[in-house]
Amino acid sequence: MIEPGVITTIHNLPPSFRQDPGNVLTSTSDTHMSTTDSHPPPFKEGHTWHDKLGIMIPTDLFPYITEEPIYVSKRQEKLKGKQHEPGSKGWLDVFYARRNHQDLVEAQNLYKESLSARAKLWGTSVNSIEYREGMVKDLSAFQNHYHEKITNLTDRQLLLHDKIKRGKSVYKTNQQLVKLEKELVKFKIDYSSVKDVGASHHRYKGHTSDDTKELEFRPNKRITPSSTGISRSHDHVKKARSDLLIKED
């Protein structure tokens, strides 16, 4: 006799009972599974449900999530010891660090690709493209500055000439014109006063390419004499030939 409220496993069911579709036995695990599958995953703004981990993951972090254990330290990783609980702050911080590192690598790759494309356009190398671009920017800035300043003076000169032609304040205008023409004669702008000397390309000391380094590395090259005299004598003395050291019989 089966008491109410008690789960009992029944073995050796009769074939007729097992084959009858009306006699259906549902286990507690089957009931739980069907109930779980029937419920939609939780929803949270900006988050995505991870089926295998069973937690909500920030959507921007989701592509970087893996299922391997995340240990609290390098020592614990060696010992296969204490781990971060999935979804905890420490666990998420690890994946945020991975994402930031990946973003940095991708940004560096894009930067290198941009350098390479610009270097090809200029017909130079990636090591000197920024230096050349910087120098051109300095020259362009100087020309624009020079044009602005000299245009102000020439415009004033045209205005004074026009006033003289019209006979307005001729004496005073002539004095102003003489002074202005002296300014035009002395007009000069120092190039270094316009350019940004703190820019990175002004700290450029040159770059030695790998090919040049390989050529410069010559272990068998001749030693440069250290003597500053006119004569070609070296500081060291050559060894005497062995045949000269043989005594005569």
In a domain, 81, yes or no: yes
Q: What is the predicted pLDDT for the residue at 43?
A: 80
The residue segments making up the domain with residue 71 are: 15-101
Q: Is residue 32 domain-shared with residue 84, that is, in the same domain? A: yes
Q: Residue 157: is its pLDDT beyond 50?
A: yes
Say how far apart CA 218 and CA 69 lie, in whole Å: 52
Q: What is the predicted pLDDT for the residue at 128?
A: 87
In a domain, 141, yes or no: yes
| Structure confidence by residue, pLDDT tens digits, 144-153 | 999 999 999 9
Domain count, the chain: 2
In a domain, 222, yes or no: no
Whole-model pTM: value is 0.48
Q: Is residue 93 domain-shared with residue 166, that is, in the same domain? A: no
Mean pLDDT over the full length of the chain = 76
| Structure confidence by residue, pLDDT tens digits, 35-67 | 345 677 788 888 899 888 888 899 999 999 998
pLDDT confidence bin for 168, thresholds 50/70/90: confident
Residue 47 · residue 57 · CB < 8 Å: yes
Q: What is the predicted pLDDT for the residue at 211?
A: 58
Q: What is the predicted pLDDT for the residue at 206?
A: 57
Who has greater pLDDT, 233 or 148?
148
Q: What is the predicted pLDDT for the residue at 90?
A: 92
Who has greater pLDDT, 199 or 79?
79
In a domain, 155, yes or no: yes
Last residue of a domain, one of 195, 213, 231: 195
Q: What is the predicted pLDDT for the residue at 246?
A: 56
Q: What average pLDDT does this structure show over 105-127?
A: 92
In a domain, 190, yes or no: yes
- Return the percentage of the chain with pLDDT > 90, whole number: 26
pLDDT confidence bin for 97, thresholds 50/70/90: very high
β-bridge pairing 55-58 and 47-50: antiparallel
pLDDT confidence bin for 116, thresholds 50/70/90: very high
- Which of 31-40, 108-117, 140-149 bottoms out in mean pLDDT, i.e. has the lowest? 31-40
| Structure confidence by residue, pLDDT tens digits, 184-231 | 888 888 877 777 777 777 666 555 555 555 555 555 656 665 555 555
Q: What is the predicted pLDDT for the residue at 96?
A: 94
In a domain, 232, yes or no: no
Residue 173 · residue 163 · CB < 8 Å: yes
Last residue of a domain, one of 150, 170, 195: 195
Q: What is the predicted pLDDT for the residue at 77?
A: 87
> Token digits for 65?
């999530």
Say how far apart CA 149 and CA 188 lie, in whole Å: 10
In a domain, 234, yes or no: no
